[in-house]
Structure 1
Amino acid sequence: MFSRDLTLARYDAELFAAMEQEAQRQEEHIELIASENYTCLLYTS
Structure 2
Amino acid sequence: MKIHLKLKKDLFEYIELLYNRKRIHSTLNYMTPMSYRIQNQAFISTS
Question: Which band: TM-score by shorter chain?
Answer: 0.3 to 0.5
- Structure whose CA Rg is larger: 1
Higher helix fraction (1 or 2): 2
Larger RCO: 1 or 2 (CA < 8 Å, sep 6+): 2
When normalised by structure 2's length, the TM-score is 0.39
When normalised by structure 1's length, the TM-score is 0.40
